[in-house]
A = this chain, B = another copy of it.
Amino acid sequence: MFRGSDTLAGPPAAPAATAVFTAVLTEGPVSRVALARRLGLSSAAVTKAARPLIDLGYLHELAATERTGPGAGRPASPLAVRADREFFIGVKITADELIGVVCDLRAQVRSTARRPLTDPDVEAVLIEVGRLTDDLLGAFPGDRARIRRLGLSLSGDIDRTTGLVRYSPFLHWRDVPLGRLVAQRTGLAVTVENDVKALTAAEHWFGEGVGAESFALVTVGTGIGCGLVVNGRLVSGSYGVAGEIGHLAVDATGPDCHCGGRGCVESIAGTDAIVAQARVRTGRPDLTIDEAVALARGGHEQVRAVFTRAGSAIGCGIAAVANLVGPTRIVVSGEGLAAYDLFDSHIRTSFERQAFGAAARCPLSIRPLPFEEWARGAAAVSIQSLVLP
């Protein structure tokens, strides 16, 4: 993380304080005793850790509303997050657009903004990020000093700890210290993370992954990616590669993939692959993905078969994740899932066939993803940088 200003006061960094803050943030209002049990601390320790968090305005006590147990006893005063204590900007950088959001401490989106991106040059991107930030700050109704952090996400090989973009294929960047540069421009504390990993982090802390020791998020679109949380932590990959579900080989007789492999999931179920196949099957060389979806929905058997095969390939990829790391649950999402109805059952069928034994018990959530979610993911990483040391 890179600071724009010199000091950046935050919550206490002591282990117990961090644990308490994280648990309240992700697991909603909880009483101190429940926290103590959950975190393996004494309740005295929770009381002590909570006080400064309350004093600093990050947490507050809820009125004791509901009874806890069955019988008597003093009712709990659950701890809850003050969502408006601090706000976070999240920016997702795509090839042709910047998408920005402002989120509160609970990662609720408060406002959004966009800017087109025409020039992939570093300087041009920095300028646009600065403008987008100004737009978001300008439209912010509250105290602007409560926005001190900004998260960026983009696809590619990113070093989160140093804020370095090692390689971005679509921007043609190599070794750009994006975190430092944006921190200088905006004066905010900046985090940078891979887009899929950021989305996974958001889902892990604020979505369906809450409380899961291990968790996977699969995104379906032009690319097919996957973020993994194992043993409670995001998987990074020793060589910067992890979660590349799109390049698992699932069909020895499948098409060659641009990655050099054969029968990769992405070469069967990526948007480009689907369009290409649909063009072949219909004989229409200018067919678009939207038209292909429309034809399939209209009952065009040849085109439906393309989606069926794609869904099966994705299901195999997801089963591979379940068989290898055994996550508690898996969320499947992404732009590609606008055509959700064409995929859903084939993904499930293929997953259930290929998942080994109890791995098939892993619940699958298949749902489309609003595009702002990507920017929210970046904001979620920024929130994590506040909470964790």
Contact = CB atoms under 8 A, between A and B. Distances in A.
A185 to B, nearest CB: 30
Nearest to A215: B238
A118 interface: no
B361 A324 contact: no
A334 interface: no
A247 interface: yes
Nearest to A260: B353
A354 interface: yes
**Interface residue tally of chain A, by bracket?**
35 or more
Given A353-B260, A353-B261, A241 B322 contact: yes
A236 interface: yes
Contact of A321 (B228, B324, B354): B324
Interface in A179-228: 212-214, 226, 228
Contacts of A236: 326
Contacts of A354: 247-249, 261-262, 264
Contacts of A214: 235, 237-238
Contacts of A259: 356-357
Contact of A253 (B244, B247, B253): B253
A296 interface: no
A267 to B, nearest CB: 12
Contacts of A247: 323, 354, 356
A243 B321 CA distance: 9
A359 B237 contact: yes
Interface in A339-356: 353-354, 356
A251 interface: yes
A240 interface: yes
B244 A324 contact: yes
Given A250-B250, A252-B253, A325 B356 contact: no
A72 B353 CA distance: 66
A248 B264 CA distance: 13
A260 B312 CA distance: 15
Contact of A358 (B233, B241, B261, B264): B241
A129 to B, nearest CB: 26
Contacts of A261: 319, 353-354, 356
* Top 8 closest pairs, chain A to chain B, by CB: A237-B326, A244-B323, A239-B358, A241-B359, A251-B252, A238-B328, A247-B356, A242-B326
